[in-house]
Structure 1
Amino acid sequence: MDLKLRQCFIAVDDHDKALTFYRDVLGLEVRNDVGFEGMRWVTVGSPLQPDVEIVLEPPAANPDTSPADKEAMAQLLAKGVLRGVIFTTADCDALFDRVREHGADVVQEPMDQPYGVRDCAFRDPAGNLLRFMQRPAD
C-alpha cells in the first residue's frame, strides 16, 4: 500500500488565539481559513512539509453533533485531555526557549528520554498537548 498522512485535526476554542500560536510562535503557514454554518476551520502547515496539514477545528465540528456531545467535547478541551501532535525539530532547546518566551503553558522542559530523543512539551491556547522532539544526531 502507498499511504501518506495528509491532514490531522486539532480542536480549538478560539481560532484567533490558535492562529497567533501556530502561525506567529511556531512559524507554520496558514493554508486555508474557511467558515461554514457558524463554524471555522483554519489549516496550517510547515513550509518544510507542503503535503501535510493541521486543521484547527471547533470542538465537535460536525453540524449533526448533539448539544450534549458538543458540551462534553468543550469540557474535555477545557481540561486539556485531548491529544495534540508531535513535531520534530533540529534544536529542541532553541524551540523551547522561543515558545516559552511567548508565554505558552510549559508541560515539560527539554529532557533526554530513555528511548533516544530529546523532547519538550507545551499546551496550545486551547489546552492541547503538543510535544517537540529532536532526534539524535546520526
Structure 2
Amino acid sequence: MLGEIPMPAGFLLTKKILTIIINMTYSCRVDFNKIHMGRERNEDRQADCITSYDLKKLDEMYAYYADKGCEVLPLEECMRKRRLDVMRLDGFGLLAEDMGKMIRFYRDVLGFEIKEAEDTSNVYLVKDGTLFLLYGRKDFEKMTNRRYEYVRGLNGHSEIALYVDTFDEVDAAFKNAIENGATPVLEPELEPWGQRTCYIADPEGNLIEIGSWNKPFEDKDAGR
C-alpha cells in the first residue's frame, strides 16, 4: 500500500543564479557513486532533485554539493515551490446579465466563433489558445449558492486585450466595433512605448482593449 512506502528524504540543488522549481514527478533511490537526478521539464529552468532513503548518504551529498557552490533547499521548500508552479492560467470568464446580447456582440461584432445558442446558460470557447467563458449571472449564483454585486455602466475592474497585426487594423477594428454597438472609451492612439491601442466596452460595460505592435501576433513578444 502507498502508506507503507516511506517518503524519501531529499533536497533541491541548483546552479547559481538559475531559477529553481522542483519536479516531484521524478524522485529516485540514490547511488552515491552514480547519482540519478530529476530534471525539470521546463527548459527555462534548471533544477535537480536529490532524494535518498539513506539519511547518512543524504548528509554527505548535501555537503558535497554545498561545497561546490550550489544552493541547497530542504525538501519541504521544494514541495512548496512545486505546488505553486503546477497552476497554469487556463482562461477567463465574464458573468453576463443578458446572455443573448453578449453572445451577439462577441460573435457578430468581435468575431468570436461562439457556437452555443443565444439562450444558453454558459459559453465555452477556446480562442487563440485561451479559454473564453460567458456565465449567466443567475445560473452562476445558483451554482455557487451566493449573491454578487454587479457594476452598472463602465466596469473598471478588468479588461480583455485583443490583438491585430497592424496599426491600421486597430483603427479599422475600433471603427467597426463602434458602428455595431460598442461603447467608445479611448480612440486609437500611439502610446509612448510604441503600441497603438484603443478601448471599447461591451454591452454590459466590460472594457476591451484592441492593440497592435505593428507586427504579426506570433512575433509581438519577441525580444521583450
- Confirm or deny a common fold (TM above 0.5): yes
Identical amino acids, percent of aligned pairs: 26
Distance 1:41 1:21, change over 3 A: same
Provide the residue aligned with 1:28 in structure 2.
Answer: 112
Q: SS in structure 2 opposite 1:23?
A: helix
- Report the Cα distance in structure 1 between the residues aligned to 2:94 and 2:124, rounded to whole angstroms: 10
CA 20–45 in structure 1, closer or farther in 2 if over 3 Å, else same:
farther
Q: Shift of residue 52 of structure 1?
A: 1.9
> Higher RCO, 1 or 2 (CA under 8 Å, sep at least 6)?
1
| Conserved 8 A contact 2:191-2:197 | yes
Structure 1 residue aligned with 2:203: 125
Structure 2: stretches of 5+ with no match in the other structure:
1-41, 43-85, 220-224
Which residue in 2 is equivalent to 1:13? 97
Contact 2:153–2:204 (CA<8 Å) still a contact in 1? no
Structure 2 counterparts to residues 85-104 of structure 1, below 5 A: 85-90=160-165, 91-104=169-182
Q: Distance in 2 between matches of 1:113 and 1:129?
A: 18
Hey, what does 1:40 align to over in structure 2? 121
**Secondary structure at 1:24's aligned position in 2?**
helix
**1:113 counterpart letter in structure 2:** E
User: Could you tell me which residue of structure 2 aligns to residue 66 of structure 1?
Assistant: 146
In structure 2, the CA distance between the partners of 1:24 and 1:103, relative to structure 1 (3 Å rule), is same
Q: 1:110 to 1:57 in 2, by over 3 A?
A: same
- How many residues are paired up? 126
Question: By how many angstroms is 1:123 displaced?
Answer: 0.6
Encode CA deviations 1:39-68: one digit per residue, 9 max, x unaligned.
81112454xx2x32210113482523433x
| Runs of 5+ consecutive residues of structure 1 not aligned to the other structure | none
Provide the TM-score with structure 1 as the length reference.
0.76
Q: Is the 8 A contact 1:104 1:125 kept in 2?
A: yes
1:45–1:102 distance in 2 versus 1, CA, 3 Å: farther
Larger Rg: 2
Compute the TM-score of the two structures, normalised by the length of structure 2: 0.49
Report Cα offsets for 1:72-106 as digits up to 9, x if no partner.
Answer: 1x2x2x24323231011121011111111112100
Taking a change above 3 Å as real, the CA distance of residues 100 and 20 of structure 1, as seen in their structure-2 partners, is: same
Structure 2 equivalent of residue 83 of structure 1: 158
Deviation at 1:135, TM superposition (A): 1.2
Question: Aligned-residue CA RMSD in angstroms?
Answer: 2.7
